[in-house]
Amino acid sequence: MKLLVNKLTKIFVRYFALYRSFLSHNLKNEMIYRANFAINVGMDIFFMMMNVLFFSILYGNVETVGGWTFHQTLILVGSVGIVRELAYLTFRKGFLELGNYVRTGNFDVMLTSPIAPAAHLAFRHVSLTDSLGEGLMGLLLVVYGFLHLSNASWIGIPFYLLMLVNSLVIYYALCLLINSLVFWLVKSQELNTVVYYFINTARYPREIYHGLGKIFFTFILPSSLIATTPAAILVGRANPSLVLISLSVAGGGLILGLFVWNWSLNFYSSASS
């Protein structure tokens, strides 16, 4: 047992050091293309504003949606933004590039170096700025929404952050599962469009679903958990079963995702030239 803990700690330390190394390289790279930075941030803010506009208009007509008030919904919208920025800081962009890697055969290097290919792919393209606008804007919305809550409780904040990380794990597991198909399709654009639609529907409260839809958006495409679980904690609507479901979807999804991914690697037919 102690041996296992030691081993896990060693692996964690090593991958954390690797992450730092890759991050610093990517930051240097991003510095070279500073012009893109402003454009990316601008666009992110625009789309976040459009989401807010959508809900503003909607809440101009109704009081609550699925029991969520306008300010509570802002926390939902903001949480999605934060999760997306966290994803870009850890793994998302690698998956977007995966199709190119497989098509050109450059994925070879991920299979020959002594890092887990999934981690290598993720770290190779970690990006601070690609989704920074969304992250900052998201944070702003969460804070704004939180300050307008009638029952704001500061105790929820650490649990909120924990569940954000849990949502990140769900997001990652889904990316792994869907992108495993790339080794057959040899392109990942459409696969990642699916992932995009997934994260794009995460900003609606989970309470709107029922029946088959609820099962679908919980276990197949678990977008109803991404924002709702953390936000529910912050606004004081959480119940233990929701947290439990989120935790198990994350855990189960991650194990399944890693398993499928590692199995799919064997079907990589490295393109020559």
- Residues 170 and 246 sit within 8 Å (Cβ to Cβ): yes
Does 27 bind another protein (CB under 8 A)? Our answer is: no
Q: Residue 139, exposed/middle/buried by CB under 10 A (0-12, 13-18, 19+)? A: middle
Q: Least Å distance between CB 161 and another protein? A: 26
Site for another protein in 34-53 (CB under 8 A): 35, 39-40, 42-43, 46-47, 50, 53
* CA angle (231 as vertex; 227, 235 as ends), nearest 5: 160
Q: Least Å distance between CB 202 and another protein? A: 10
Binding track, positions 208-237, relative to another protein; x by CB under 8 A: xxx--x---x---x----------------
3-state secondary structure of 65: strand
Beta bridge partners of 137: none
User: What is d(CA 223, CA 173) in angstroms, rounded to the nearest whole number?
Assistant: 12
Pick one of 12, 16, 54, 259: the residue that binds another protein (CB under 8 A): 54
Residue of 185, 207, 218, 39 whose CA lies nearest to 99: 185
User: What is d(CA 249, CA 262) in angstroms, rounded to the nearest whole number?
Assistant: 19
Give the range of 80-88, 206-214, 241-249, 252-260 binding another protein by CB under 8 A: 206-214
The residue whose two tokens read 């030691």 is: 6
Q: Least Å distance between CB 218 and another protein? A: 13
The residue ranges that bind another protein (CB under 8 A) are 14, 17-18, 21-22, 25, 28-29, 32, 35, 39-40, 42-43, 46-47, 50, 53-54, 57-58, 60-67, 104-106, 108-109, 111-115, 185, 187, 189-190, 193-194, 196-197, 200-201, 204, 207-210, 213, 217, 221, 266-270, 272-273
